[in-house]
Amino acid sequence: MASSKVQFVASPGGRLTGTLRVPGDKSISHRSIMLGSLAEGTTRVTGFLDGEDSLATLRAFRDMGVHIEGPDQGAVTIHGVGMHGLRAPAAPLDLGNSGTSMRLMCGLLAGQGMEVTLVGDESLSRRPMKRVTDPLARMGADIGAADAGTAPLQIHAVDTLRGIDYRMPVASAQVKSCLLLAGMYAQGQTCVTEPAPTRDHTERMLQGFGYAVRSDAGRACLDGGGRLRACDIDVPGDISSAAFFLVGASIAQGSDLLLEHVGMNPTRDGVINILRLMGADIEVLDPREVGGEPVADLRVRSAPLSGIRIPEDQVPLAIDEFPVLFIAAACATGQTVLTGAQELRVKESDRIQVMADGLVALGVDARPTPDGIVIQGGAIGAGTVDSHGDHRIAMAFTMAALRARGEIVINDCANVNTSFPRFVELAAGVGSRVVSHDA
């Protein structure tokens, strides 16, 4: 892990122009390693995200005996060991800052019949895990946790898991994916019903590896005892990473930016829908399908934005993009209101409170609520904000400088490498006035 004292300094002004391809989708990169490791045969991945989160997943499977070559410029070759070929690791698996790794692997390892301990960094060790360990216990899993229901998690061997029909109280792709992965090792059928649509990368990728999944009207089911067959995966650009540039080019006058090969999964496109409701000029070019995932190029040009009441049905479709959407709201005319987003309070940081604190420090009228925020658009001033080690907070405030009246200093930015390696370099290359240094 890089020094936690990394600081971004973003000077005011600039515009975003040119062409950019953002790093590969983190969600798909994680899942490619997990399913490729359990498949029969050799899986070849291109466009893999070489970030700390997905590398944590890759190292964990190496530690369980899987031979994985790369990553080399986004290319990874996974020599699968089959559904029951993993070996117990010699030491706890350190998943760093990656909540996706921990929650999905909790399900995947619950029925492997071996002892495994999952640990993470300070931030991950505070994140709630009962949302996966409780339903897994109903399936027969034996998973120990800290008193608060957090990591470290001790996964104990059990004879068998049994399928369940689980109705999720809160929409979460990680919980859904965790239970479906556990369901592959369970007797009978496992079904998960979600209260609102969430990303469906797990269901799509399972189908790509030849494992039958039945999905209909917010409900996904599979039967235990199947097999995975190796396949090739081309990872599209991560729309969560593209979101920073969609907002940046929207708010910076004179911007005209082309984002290439961006994943356009319909369970992830809330950021585009919300920005368009605010008046953003985003054009979808050359829509196509790559490896079962929709992909397109996005052209975004600066446009005047207006405050809106964000539709609650869009919240699960944009849950990771709200930090930078709050920057768009701060640059919009009028008031933006977000409700139904209490999930933001248990991400890498309490994203509602941390973003509100940062916006207020820059002179923006931002009032947090239990499940959202109210932002009055206006001028963004200068100042110092603390990202609290949250990569998306750090990148969001970098984009705010495009419309700021003075310099914005962002502290605690090392974790940007978890999802977006070379962010500062790529942002500066298209016109952002940001530099990085050790504080």
Q: Which residues are catalytic?
A: 320
Strand 42-46 versus strand 75-79 pairing type: antiparallel
How many residues does the structure list for the chain? Answer: 439
> Distance (Å, rounded) from C-alpha 325 to C-alpha 11?
20
Specify whether the CB–CB gap between 244 and 25 falls below 8 A. Answer: no
Which amino acid would we find at residue 338?
L
Dihedral class, residue 422 (left if φ above 0, else alpha if ψ from -120 to 50, else beta): left
Phi, psi of 360 (to 5 degrees): -60, -40
Closest CA to 10 of 326, 385, 304: 385
Secondary structure of 102-139 as H, E, C letters: HHHHHHHHHCCCCCEEEECCCCHHHCCCHHHHHHHHHC
- 231: which 2 tokens? 């396949």
Phi, psi of 147 (to 5 degrees): -55, -35
Q: Which residues of 214-250 are buried (b: 16+ CB within 10 A; e: fewer)?
A: eeeebebbbbbebebebbebbbbbbbbbbbbbbbbbb
